[in-house]
Amino acid sequence: MKPAVAPTTITLLQTNSLTMAVQQEVERAILAGEYAPGDKLNEAALALKLGVSRGPVREAFRMLDEAGLVRTEKNRGVFVRDIPIDEAIEIFELRATMEELVGRRLAASMSEAQQHEVESLVQAMEAAVQAGDSHNYHLLNLQFHDRLVEMAGNRKLASVYRKLVKEISLFRRLNLAGQNVLPESAHAHWAILEAIKSGDPEIAGRAMFEHAMGSRDRTIENDGLRRRADTPATES
């Protein structure tokens, strides 16, 4: 007979499982834009909504704080983190360097099956453009880049990359707003794939680096536009 599992062990496993489920759901909602930067997350309300006790929610908040998605303020609560523009720019620049490495590796290693998978993602992105579905396009855009990083085969790089891009998810979403942005973005992703398929690490690395730096530049431009819009006009 197998030894019985101690009740305390079962409770621990159940609690850990609930915490992970809560953490994943709150993270999904933040990345999907359901909670805006600066929004306060109500522990009791979330526990009621998700059908769990407050313990797993509290622990999930701690994990999200460590991941950089929320900030905990003593005696005030937990808030969706609002990344300062200067920090976002630093992350975009670091992301560009990481993606350049990914492009170089994939130019030498991407299989035919992987090429077909990435082609399917870009085709889905074009379908989202045709449907005017910016929300789905944003999710596919995230998936496209995440899969390329995963295909590069460096698990540590993938782990660091995913933490960073979660922090700038809002900026990436805002970068896709505006007329003609989505069609141009879809075209750019075809260009990335073609650069990787060329088999030339220099071409592929440069394509991915410049694409990420373009996102940085749009972030700076959008921030400038928002600042000017928020500045009261002065009388001449």
| Domain CATH for 43 | 1.10.10.10
- In this prediction, residue 176 carries a pLDDT of 74
Are 107 and 65 in a shared domain? Answer: no
Is 143 a member of any domain? yes
Residue 208 identity: M
- Give the pLDDT band of residue 127 (cuts 50, 70, 90): very high
57 and 95 in a single domain? The answer is no
Is the domain of 112 the same as that of 190?
yes
Domain that residue 118 falls in: 85-230
As a whole number, mean pLDDT of residues 155-178 equals 84
Torsion angle, alpha carbons of 150, 62, 47, 37, to 10:
-70
Domain count, the chain: 2
Q: What average pLDDT does the chain have?
A: 87
Q: Reply yes or no on whether the pLDDT at 179 is more than 70.
A: no
What is the pTM for the complete model shown?
0.76
pLDDT for 182-191, tens place per residue? 899 999 999 9
Residue 98 within a domain? yes
Q: Tell me, what's the pLDDT at 12?
A: 41
Extract the tokens encoding 58. Answer: 């509290």
Spatial CA neighbour of 131 closest among 30, 171, 123? 123
Q: Considering only residues 66 and 122, tell me which one the structure prediction assigns the higher pLDDT.
A: 122
